[in-house]
Chains A and B, each alone.
Chain A
Amino acid sequence: MEILILLLALFVLSLFLGVELITKVPPTLHTPLMSGTNAVSGITLVGALLAAGAEGSPMLVNGLGFIAVTLATINVVGGYLVTNRMLAMFKRK
């Protein structure tokens, strides 16, 4: 129960922090912001790793874990690479 309250506190505070941070991102960078946060949401990879390899689990669980690892890795690798590609184009005169 105590852990649950702590997780909830973390969740709520992160939401407020998110609002403060994101409202300061200029419209010029909104597309890289979206692809960059896409990469961050690939953090589900951490959860996927925990689900994928659990030894002695039924095949179905491992299979779902494999799907989750693959999809989350696409998010992470694709998201960061394409964001980097875009941001590199933003130059000053």
Chain B
Amino acid sequence: MNPNLVNFIYLIAGVLFILGIKGLTKPKTAVRGNMLSALGMLLAVVVTLLSIHHVDFAYIIAGLILGTLVGAVMALRVQMTSMPQMVALLNGFGGGASLAIAVAEYFSKLGMVPSSFADALLPTEANSSLFGAGIEGEVALIAIGLTVMIGAVTLTGSLIAFLKLQEVMKKSYGLPGGPVGNAILALASLAAVAFLVINPGHVGVMLAMIVLALALGLFLVMPIGGADMPVVIALLNSYSGIAAALAGFILGNTVLIVAGSLVGTSGLILTQIMCVAMNRSLANVLFGKMAAGGEKIDADEIYAGKVTSAQPDEVAMILETAKRVVIVPGYGMAMAQAQHAVRELANAMEARGIEVEYGIHPVAGRMPGHMNVLLAEAEVPYDKLVEMERINPTFEETDVVIVIGANDVTNPMARDVEGSPIYGMPILNVDKARTVVVIKRSLSPGFAGLPNPLFAMDHTLMVYGDGKKAVIEMTTALNQS
């Protein structure tokens, strides 16, 4: 096929990717957008298959079949609560693919593969002209080096993120020296890239760089706690895009560059949104712990004698007279698998003419937008899912707020107590509502490890117990009255 035609079709594919993401700006156009994007991918793959000559299709067909089977099974079987794990794995595979391409391209251009490990350690006299004429050779080598590095970090980092989200790995491990150890690993990999640009024949250095970068990915993610995973997978999402764009520079391929940079910016923007929603810098999430600021706050002092508890049927009586109710879900709702029960309760309230909306904090759940997907699966219409900035001004006119499985994102200390570790974090101002009902197993603190003065307020009622059971009992009581 004519290379110009191939590039023209790559351009069309790129435009379809852009239209696809544009479709995602509205729920109504999103399904069509995703299809357009998939069509772009199909075009790009088909035109690539038609343009390659003198190839052995056995490897290609085998890879396509295996990948399709695994991908389809994963996509059709995954539970919505496990979506963060799925995305973490996909990020890792994307990084792994870029890594494999870069290493293949390195050996292919070098024109030789060492026959044994000992051979690999004997440097050859190869120079950058094998990789391109003049400066292009050096640029190709830089691109190969950086793709290997970012691809490898994405691969192992994502696998660790997967293990943490799946709760297989519960503890946090780190290199001695923490960030310093990671910085040494990163600098050593970069030094290896620089060395290879000058001496591309040193296969041993290439192998060492791969090992260093794989280790870097492991040690970057292992120390990070489960509740910070939304930031980590958004960042790894970005890396997988950057690795794809860099692979585009190796191959001189336009569609890889366009698609890769779109994904790279998407991940970075989501990372930024998550960090702002936690009022922490990216460096703090990656390398730090929660600030241990201020004196220790005594939970007993805040709660003692001030917490009012209630039974589900008492809550139902309050709901009966309400005009407007806001439900604030957190990851605890997903853990209790209570989203369908919550939807039933909302149905019962709406049947009585009560206005019901959901207030969603950006970091509720285990990945950006996770709570919305879980509620959409429970058939909550998306126009009822209201983001923090829009729901906050409405709490003063809200009769009852039901907080289920959320804690830190409702803690008024973030707003009122200067010097508190979470001070400055944007929260849902549920305490402004006339009555606040908190469904929770106990008064135990959330991830931030802080007591929540909301629980001790005069207009707050604590309903202790399993979220799903409590919500079902409220619904029954409401229906019977």
Contact = CB atoms under 8 A, between A and B. Distances in A.
Contacts of B59: 52-53, 62-63, 65-66, 69
Contacts of B135: 1, 4
B174 to A, nearest CB: 26
Contacts of A51: 100-101, 104-105, 108
Contacts of B17: 40, 43
B162 interface: no
Interface in B20-60: 20-22, 24-28, 30-31, 33-35, 37-38, 41, 44-45, 48-49, 52, 54-57, 59-60
B60 A53 contact: yes
Indicate the member of B30, B31, B259 with the most A CB atoms within 10 Å.
Answer: B30
A92 to B, nearest CB: 5
Interface string B68-99: 10111011101010010011001101101110
Interface in A35-93: 35-93
A53 B57 contact: yes
A41 B259 contact: yes
A88 B313 CA distance: 36
B237 interface: yes
Interface residues of B, number: 115
A10 B331 CA distance: 40
A36 B266 CA distance: 10
B383 to A, nearest CB: 6
B382 A38 contact: no
A18 B269 CA distance: 9
A76 B41 contact: yes
Contact of B80 (A24, A56, A86, A93): A86
Contacts of A63: 59
Contact of A10 (B35, B87, B104, B254): B254
A36 B24 contact: yes
Nearest to B381: A93
Interface of B: 17-18, 20-22, 24-28, 30-31, 33-35, 37-38, 41, 44-45, 48-49, 52, 54-57, 59-60, 62-64, 66-68, 70-72, 74-76, 78, 80, 83, 86-87, 90-91, 93-94, 96-98, 100-101, 103-105, 107-108, 112-113, 134-136, 139, 233-234, 237, 240-241, 243-245, 247-267, 269-270, 273, 360, 362, 367-370, 372-373, 376-377, 379, 381-385, 387
Closest 9 CB pairs of A and B: A73-B67, A69-B63, A30-B369, A18-B265, A53-B55, A77-B71, A78-B71, A81-B75, A30-B368
Given A31-B369, A71-B93, 19 more contacts: A11-B261, A14-B258, A21-B18, A27-B362, A28-B369, A29-B30, A30-B367, A31-B368, A42-B97, A44-B98, A52-B104, A57-B108, A58-B107, A66-B60, A78-B71, A79-B71, A89-B373, A92-B27, A92-B382
